[in-house]
Each structure stands twice: as C-alpha cells, then as structure tokens.
Amino acid sequence: MKAVVITTPGGPEVLQLQEVEDPQINEDEVLIKVEATALNRADTLQRQGKYPPPKGASPYPGLECSGTIEAVGKNVSRWKIGDQVCALLSGGGYAEKVAVPAGQVLPVPQGVSLKDAAALPEVACTVWSTVFMMSRLSAGETFLVHGGSSGIGTFAIQIAKHQGVKVFVTAGSEEKLAVCKDLGADVCINYKTEDFVARVKEETGGKGVDVILDSVGAPYFQKNVDSLNIDGRLFLLGFMGGAVTQVNLASLFAKRITVQAAGLRTRTLENKAEIVSEVEKNVWPAIVAGKVKPVVYKYLPLSEAAEGHRLMESSQHIGKILLVA
C-alpha cells in the first residue's frame, strides 16, 4: 500500500508518499481501506519529532480516518467486511489501509458522506471526553472555547449548543468569528483586538464562565483563571503558546477552580473504547439529527500531505483539512 512517511524530522517537505508493507491485524482489530483521513495539530508535532507514536502504534501520522472494512480479526463480532466506518487511531491514518482495535471504530452517521466522516472521530472523542465526561459541562452553563474556528472549536461550539450551553469563543479574524457565529456561538471575541477576560466578565455580569477549553497554554493560564466563575473548570488540551508559566494560586482557591489536562493518543485501549462508546451514545444522535455537522475547509489528495501541513501551520483554515486516499 501507499502511506505518507516522515522521512526525517523536519518541515512539511519531509512528508513523502511511499510504497510500504500492508498493516497486519490481530484478533481484536479490523483492517480499514481508507477513504479519507483528517489532519490534527499532533501530526505536525509528530512530523517535527516532538510527538512520537505510542509503543506498538503505526509509525505513519494520522489519528482518525473513514473507510470500508476489508478484514476482521477472529474476536471481532460487531463489524463485518464491507461496513462503512470511521475510527479513532493511534497513528497510521495517512495511508491506504490501517489496522484499528474494534473498540475504536464507529459507524458513519446517517446523513454524513463516507469522506466527511473522517473529520469526526478525533474532535468528537476529544471534546466529549474532556468537556463533558471530565469537566461535566451541562445545560444552562457557560463555556469558552479558544480557537473557535479550529477543528476542535467548530465541533465544540455545535455540541455545546446542542446540550443547552451558552458558548463564548475567541478567534483571530472577523471571518473566523463569523463562521463561529453561524455555528451557534453566542459571544464571539477577536483576541487580537479585544481583551477576552474583560469581555467574558462583561457578558456574564462579572461572574465568568463555567468551563474553558484551551490549547494555548502558558500565556493564557492566568487569564483563563480570571475568566472563570466560582467552581469553574479549566481544561487544557495543549500548550501551543508555551508550557511554563507563573500562576497566582490564591485565585484558584478563591473560586474553587479545577484545572484538568488530557490527550487521547496515549490512553489505554480500554479507555479509548469507553470514550468511543460514549461518543456513539451521546454525540452520534446529534449528528444524525443534523444538529452537529463536520466542518471541512479543504480536501487534498494523500500525495499533498505536505501542502496540508503548510496550510494547518499557517492557521488560515476554518474547521478540518482532509486527505483523501
């Protein structure tokens, strides 16, 4: 099969489509013939040598895919050859075929094309496992998502609105904020021209929001704490702006604030299967009902993975970038 290989750690140009061995499945896995895969920030870090795949995972990038099942392991009962599915991966999505534990596979939701389904697993599992399963965001609460126009952001806006939450977003251009508003965001803040802390305070009568989802990290940490309500929860998904900061601990005490952080890729198979199951139960019906839609910025062929990475690193995109196998 063909796969996108990281020939050496470096810039987008190190990604090359090469002929490689087909993956072998074990008895608890399925083999998916890939229709499409989607880019995630983690892929760009892996390409730079900063985020190696977990032990035993595929060396090729790609944390999600959609496609058709081509083979099933002998312990797999739910899936059969020919099923159209999408899946959460530990790696290997940038390829024509990928082996996946059966517990990380989801049916393509009715109303979504096989290709576009590749845009769903990583964002759905990330947002549901963090904001809902861990931070327990619930109806009637307020939620701020930084980078509202990202893949994570565009999904988080929609599912939070569907759950009866008031949604605040930050983004860096009026075009991006307009998309967030169209997706249902209630309060849209341009972080380049506005102080998000002041605006959050103003819009909440001085209280702050209940939950914040952030991938910026260090530069936003104290500002996030200052933007939270009593019993507020800050969830850190990444630290694109830096990992080390000073914090005034008294401000955490005063508001009884919880700070949480997690990724998906390094979780155990059991833990991933549990998240995927919760997503199918809680998120898939919202997608089938048309309340949550995949937001796709661009489709590129697998051979143009480098171009996809350049686009992602320029941060011009809104929603997801897909590679079509």
Residue at 105 is within a domain? yes
Phi, psi of 226 (to 5 degrees): -70, -20
Residue at 163 is within a domain? yes
Residue at 130 is within a domain? no
Which of 261, 290, 312 delimits the end of a domain? 261
Q: Which helix (H) or strand (E) is 35 found in, with range? A: strand 29-38
Among all chains, which residue has been given the structure tokens 């990583």? 122
Domain residues for the domain of 174 are 135-261
Phi, psi of 165 (to 5 degrees): -110, 145
Per-residue confidence (pLDDT) for residue 323, from 0 to 100: 98
Residues 6 and 114 both lie in one domain:
yes
Per-residue confidence (pLDDT) for residue 29, from 0 to 100: 98
> Cα 325 to chain center, whole Å?
20
Residues 34 and 75 both lie in one domain:
yes
* Residue type at 203 in one-letter notation: E
Residues 32 and 113 both lie in one domain:
yes
Q: Which two tokens stand for residue 96?
A: 């024509």
Please classify residue 148 by burial: count the beta carbons closer than 10 Å to its beta carbon, then call 0-12 exposed, 13-18 middle and 19+ buried.
buried
Dist CA 272 CA 264 (whole Å)? 7
Give the total number of structural domains in the chain: 2
pTM: predicted TM-score of the whole model, two decimal places: 0.97
Q: Which two tokens stand for residue 113?
A: 């094309």
Which of 261, 294, 316 delimits the end of a domain? 261
**Mean per-residue pLDDT pooled into runs of 10, the chain (325 residues):** 98 98 98 98 97 95 98 98 98 98 98 98 98 98 98 98 98 98 98 98 98 98 98 97 95 97 95 98 98 98 98 97 98
Residue at 141 is within a domain? yes
Dist CA 131 CA 250 (whole Å)? 24
Per-residue confidence (pLDDT) for residue 66, from 0 to 100: 99
Phi, psi of 212 (to 5 degrees): -125, 135
* Residue type at 110 in one-letter notation: Q
Per-residue confidence (pLDDT) for residue 237, from 0 to 100: 96
Per-residue confidence (pLDDT) for residue 146, from 0 to 100: 98
Per-residue confidence (pLDDT) for residue 24, from 0 to 100: 96
Residue 176: give its domain's CATH number. Answer: 3.40.50.720
Residues 159 and 173 both lie in one domain:
yes
Residue at 127 is within a domain? no
Residues 250 and 154 both lie in one domain:
yes
Residue at 307 is within a domain? yes
